[in-house]
């Protein structure tokens, strides 16, 4: 049986190599051992690559000695991408608050943070029912912010171009979803839609009861 | 469970790519589809509703051909990673024969990887299956981001977080460049078919 199993496995492996074998270039990086599944160990090729990358990394570190001021914002944004809870969105909003204080004198950064804030508030109100493009826009605004903050020498015109671009996307998004982005419950000149819904529901259930009674009496009548 | 047709000598195997949202599951399948389109005789179907996010699933059938007289067909699926689509994930996991867990190597995604693996475990339990009994391959994706200076989780950390108990084969990869995408897939097929052959007496 063991021989049979080995035969099939080796036949299968050969077939897989026939079908997909040409892709070995990239895959030579694999540190896999055939005998039994092993935890990953860096192959020589990969450790060489790592070594080669070291000076580059050091250079990057030199250019960016400090952590990005957007690091926490990015982290909570990615969490939002995964889970839309009050806690996660709250973290994102409090991070925006901190950044708004920090960048209060930079008009473009401040306005992008305001866009983020509006989006987060909208998402908080809608949670999983938020428009599927919501997070896409949050990511896009983040990219704009990241570009500006990563380039301290960027001119005001360049910053404005980025901010205006994001604002346009935001406006288009607002149009897509209607008035909901303001986060307000649907109201028409002081009329509470929820109250109307309740009345209609009550009326409907009364109507249903009456109809059932009528049908029953018709059956009895027969 | 795999579909076997002894009369036709056909075996259909289901392998699901699982993992956190934006981890690269679809990119894995897209790479395979693009690179081997001519050979795999199948067509990738992506069911999407909005934007570029996977809201339902991606599906890629691959015809392996005859092995010991049996025609082996593999169906690859990806599931949406976002928490809110758990119902879809559960649906796609039904009858799974093998799993590729695509973890995101970014430092900021550490928690999501762990949550997603827990979610996989819970969803398998709902079908009365144990994660330890399903052939699984781990892939630590987005290693190419290291070149961009983006902080990545070390392989040791990923192994410790995700593979300490599973002890499954694992690969560092970049679905974007194709690094180890095919190796991961080959290993998943190989493990899955090997696990099935005893039950199905494929060899006999």
pLDDT at A185: 44
Residue A68: the pLDDT is 82
More confident residue, B138 or A46: B138
Categorize the per-residue pLDDT at B1 as very low, low, confident or very high, splitting at 50, 70 and 90: low
The residue-averaged pLDDT of B122-142 equals: 94
**CA–CA separation, B18 vs B174, rounded Å?**
16
pLDDT one-digit tens code per residue, A3-46: 455 667 788 888 888 888 755 445 433 343 333 333 343 333 33
Per-residue pLDDT reduced to its tens digit, B45-89: 766 544 444 556 778 888 888 888 888 999 999 887 766 677 777
Give the other-Cβ count within 10 Å of A123's Cβ.
24
Task: Give the C-alpha distances (Å, rounded to integers) separating A3 from A6, A10, B66, B68, B142.
Answer: 5, 10, 19, 13, 38
Residue-level pLDDT at B198? 66
Task: Give the Cβ contact number of residue A65 at 10 Å.
Answer: 6
Q: Which of A76-85, A184-193, B108-117, B192-201 has the lowest mean pLDDT?
A: A184-193
Phi-psi region of B65 (alpha: psi -120 to 50; beta: other; left: phi over 0): left
Domain ranges of chain A: 71-177
Q: Which residue has the higher pLDDT, A177 or B100?
A: B100
- The whole-number pLDDT of residue A220 equals 60
* Interface predicted TM-score of the whole assembly (ipTM), two decimals: 0.80
- How is B109-138 classified by DSSP, letter by letter? GHHHHHHHHHHHHHHHHTTT--GGGS-EEE
Cβ–Cβ below 8 Å for B189 and A1: no
Query: Is residue B141 a contact partner of residue B102, using CB atoms and an 8 Å limit?
Result: yes
Q: Look over chain B and give the mean of its residue pLDDT values, rounded to a whole number.
A: 86
Work out the average pLDDT over B109-134: 93
Phi first, then psi, for residue B168 (nearest 5°) are: -90, 160
Cβ neighbours of A128 in B, within 8 Å:
84
Contact between A37 and B50 using a beta-carbon 8 Å cutoff: no
Task: Report the pLDDT value the prediction gives residue B79, as an integer from 0 to 100.
Answer: 82
Selecting from B20, B172, B202 the residue whose C-beta is nearest the C-beta of A40 gives B172
Residues of A with CB below 8 A from B181's CB?
23, 26-27
Distance from CA of B168 to the nearest CA of A (A): 6
Say if residue B102's pLDDT is above 90: yes
d(CA A116, CA A92): 9
Higher pLDDT, B47 or B203: B47
What pLDDT does A22 receive? 55
pLDDT at A60: 38
Per-residue pLDDT at A112: 94
Looking at the complex, does the CB of residue B12 fall below 8 Å from at least one CB of chain A? no
Contact A173, A114 (CB under 8 A): no
Residues B124, A97: Cα–Cα separation, whole Å: 41
Residues B167-179 pLDDT 10s = 999 999 999 999 9
Task: Return the closest-CA partner of residue A181 out of A194, A168, A172, A190.
Answer: A172
Q: Which domains does chain B have, with CATH numbers?
A: 3-200 (3.40.50.300)
The pLDDT, as a whole number, for residue B130 is: 94
Q: Which residues contact A154 (CB under 8 A, 6 or more apart)?
A: A147, A148
Quick check: helix, strand or coil at residue A1? coil
pLDDT at A47: 38
Gap between the terminal Cα atoms of chain B: 20
Give pLDDT < 50 ranges for chain A. Answer: 1-3, 24-25, 27-65, 181-189
């Amino acid at each position: 049986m063991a021989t049979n199993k080995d035969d099939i496995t080796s036949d299968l492996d050969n077939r897989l190599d026939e079908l997909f074998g040409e892709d070995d270039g990239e895959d030579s990086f694999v540190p896999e051992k055939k005998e039994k599944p092993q935890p990953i160990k860096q192959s020589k090729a990969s450790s060489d690559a790592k070594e080669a990358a070291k000076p580059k990394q050091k250079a990057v570190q030199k250019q960016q000695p400090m952590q990005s001021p957007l690091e926490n914002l990015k982290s909570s944004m990615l969490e939002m991408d995964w889970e839309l809870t009050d806690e996660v969105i709250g973290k994102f909003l409090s991070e925006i608050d901190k950044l708004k204080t920090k960048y209060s004198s930079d008009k473009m950064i401040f306005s992008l943070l305001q866009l983020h804030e509006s989006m987060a508030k909208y998402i908080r109100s809608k949670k999983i029912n938020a428009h599927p493009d919501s997070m896409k826009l949050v990511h896009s605004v983040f990219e704009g912010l990241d570009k500006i903050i990563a380039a301290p020498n960027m001119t005001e015109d360049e910053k404005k171009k980025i901010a205006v671009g994001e604002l346009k996307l935001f406006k288009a998004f607002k149009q897509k979803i209607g008035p909901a982005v303001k986060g307000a419950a649907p109201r028409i000149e002081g009329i509470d839609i929820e109250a109307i819904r309740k009345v209609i529901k009550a009326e409907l259930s009364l109507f249903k009861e009456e109809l059932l009674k009528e049908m029953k009496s018709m059956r009895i009548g027969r | 469970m795999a579909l076997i047709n002894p009369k036709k000598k056909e075996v259909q195997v289901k392998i699901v790519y699982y993992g956190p949202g934006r981890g690269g599951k679809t990119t894995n399948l897209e790479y395979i589809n693009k690179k081997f389109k001519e050979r795999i005789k199948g067509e990738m179907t992506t069911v999407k509703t909005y934007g570029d996010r996977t809201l339902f699933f991606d599906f890629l059938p691959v015809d392996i051909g005859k092995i010991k007289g049996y025609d082996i067909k593999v169906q690859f699926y990806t599931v949406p990673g976002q928490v809110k689509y758990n119902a879809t994930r559960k649906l796609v996991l039904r009858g799974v024969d093998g799993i590729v867990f695509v973890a995101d190597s970014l430092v900021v995604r550490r928690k999501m990887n762990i949550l997603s693996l827990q979610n996989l475990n819970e969803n398998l339990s709902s079908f009365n299956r144990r994660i330890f009994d399903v052939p699984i391959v781990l892939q630590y994706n987005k290693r190419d981001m290291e070149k961009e200076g983006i902080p990545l989780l070390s392989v040791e950390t990923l192994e410790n977080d995700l593979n300490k108990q599973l002890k499954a084969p694992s690969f560092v990869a970049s679905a974007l460049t194709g690094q180890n995408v095919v190796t991961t897939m080959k290993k998943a097929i190989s493990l899955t078919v090997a696990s099935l052959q005893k039950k199905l007496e494929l060899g006999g």
